[in-house]
Chains A and B, each alone.
Chain A
Amino acid sequence: MTILVLAQEFDRTADAVITGLVERGRHVMRVDLAWFPQQLTVDAEFRNGAWQGCLRTDQHAADLASIKSIWVRSPGLFRMPEGMTPVEADYARREAKIGLTGILLALPNVLWVNRPDLAATAAYKPLQYAIAARCGLRIPPTLITNRPDAVRRFARSSSTGLVAKPLTTNLIFEDSTYKMGYTHPLTSDDLADLRGVDVTATHLQHWVPKVRECRAVVVDGKIHAVALTAGSAASHIDWRSDFPALSYEVIELPETVATGLRMFMAEFGIVYGAFDLVLGPDAHEPGEREVVTMLECNVGGQYGFLENKAGVPITESLVTLLARGRTAGR
Chain B
Amino acid sequence: MAGSRFADDPLVSVSERFPTAPSGFEVPAVSEPPSAPSTRPFGLRWLTELGVPRQPAATRYCPRRQVSIDVATGLPAPLLNKLEWTTVNHKDGDEGPSKDYDWETVPDVPKPQK
Instruction: Give residues in A with beta carbon < 8 Å to B.
Output: 5, 8-13, 15-16, 18-19, 28-30, 32-34, 57-60, 74-79, 90, 93-94, 97-98, 101, 105, 116-117, 119-120, 123, 164-166, 168-182, 184, 190, 193-197, 199-200, 202-203, 240-241, 243-244, 274, 298-305, 307-309, 315
Contact = CB atoms under 8 A, between A and B. Distances in A.
B47 to A, nearest CB: 4
Contacts of A90: 114
B19 A116 contact: yes
Main secondary structure of the interface of A (DSSP, over half): mixed
Contacts of B45: 164, 184, 190, 196
Given A177-B52, A298-B109, A307-B80, A164 B46 contact: yes
Contact of B77 (A15, A76, A165, A195): A15
Interface string B70-110: 00000011011101110011111111100001001111111
B62 to A, nearest CB: 9
Interface of B: 3, 7, 14-25, 27-28, 31-34, 37-53, 55-56, 59, 61, 63-64, 66-68, 76-77, 79-81, 83-85, 88-96, 101, 104-114
A179 B68 contact: no
A202 B43 contact: yes
A76 B24 CA distance: 8
Main secondary structure of the interface of B (DSSP, over half): loop
Given A117-B18, A120-B110, A301-B108, A182 B38 contact: no
Contacts of B44: 172, 181, 196
Given A77-B21, A202-B43, A240 B92 contact: yes
A169 B107 contact: yes
A98 B107 CA distance: 24
Contacts of B84: 308
Given A74-B21, A119-B110, A174-B32, A16 B91 contact: no
The interface centre, meaning the residue of B44, B52, B76, B112 with most chain A CB atoms within 10 A of its CB, is B44
Contacts of A200: 41, 43
A196 B109 contact: no
Given A8-B24, A32-B23, A120-B17, 17 more contacts: A11-B104, A12-B77, A18-B67, A19-B76, A74-B106, A75-B21, A76-B21, A120-B110, A170-B92, A178-B51, A181-B46, A196-B42, A243-B85, A298-B108, A299-B109, A304-B81, A308-B80
8 interchain residue pairs of minimum CB distance: A302-B93, A298-B108, A304-B95, A243-B88, A196-B42, A9-B61, A76-B23, A12-B80
Contact of A76 (B20, B83, B112): B20
A15 B94 contact: no
A79 B88 contact: no
The interface centre, meaning the residue of B3, B17, B20, B113 with most chain A CB atoms within 10 A of its CB, is B20
Contact of A30 (B27, B37, B66): B66
A75 B20 CA distance: 5
7 contacts: A15-B77, A77-B23, A77-B113, A94-B7, A116-B110, A172-B44, A302-B108
Contacts of B3: 94, 98
B42 A202 contact: yes
A305 B95 contact: yes
Contacts of B76: 15, 19
Given A16-B79, A76-B21, A76-B23, A175 B95 contact: no
Nearest to B56: A10
